[in-house]
């Protein structure tokens, strides 16, 4: 199960196809639901502040997101994906949503059993 969930080959394929590290793609995907503060993005990515800043700097240089000042608190920075960044995040989601080959070989009964197990364990997307 660990190998299936942490499939680094799939992550590498997605990164190679889209030309960004998986971490940067994860940051863009986190912005699909709307802008986040730098703190919220750091928490969502489960990284530290310096690494989040490094990724945001790079994505900003690539014009995939913009950083702005929160009008209610100038100390807070808001990160918003650009249209190009949102498009890339959607493409990443589409690629990631393709089931791994190991799942495609399972029978309908096995898939139903796996779905019951995951639901019982409360594993969600």
Tell me the per-residue pLDDT of 61-104, one tens digit each, with 9 for 90 and over: 999 999 999 999 999 999 999 999 999 999 999 998 887 777 88
Mean pLDDT for the chain?
90
Contacts by 17-25, CB closer than 8 A, 24 or more apart: 17/95, 18/88, 18/91, 18/92, 18/95, 20/88, 23/47, 23/55, 24/55, 24/58, 24/59, 25/88, 25/89, 25/92
**pTM metric for this prediction:** 0.80
The CATH architecture assigned to 2-98 reads Orthogonal Bundle (1.10)
């Amino acid at each position: 199960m660990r190998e299936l969930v942490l499939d680094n080959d799939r992550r590498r394929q997605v990164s190679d196809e889209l030309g960004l590290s998986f971490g940067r793609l994860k940051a863009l995907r986190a912005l699909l639901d709307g802008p986040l503060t730098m703190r919220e993005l750091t928490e969502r990515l489960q990284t530290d502040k310096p690494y989040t800043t490094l990724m945001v700097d790079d994505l900003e240089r690539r014009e995939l997101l913009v950083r702005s000042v929160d009008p209610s608190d100038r100390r807070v920075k808001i990160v918003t994906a650009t249209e190009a960044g949102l498009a890339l995040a959607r493409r990443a989601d589409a690629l990631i949503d393709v089931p791994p080959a190991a799942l495609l070989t399972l029978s309908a009964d096995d898939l139903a059993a796996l779905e019951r197990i995951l639901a019982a364990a409360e594993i969600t997307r």
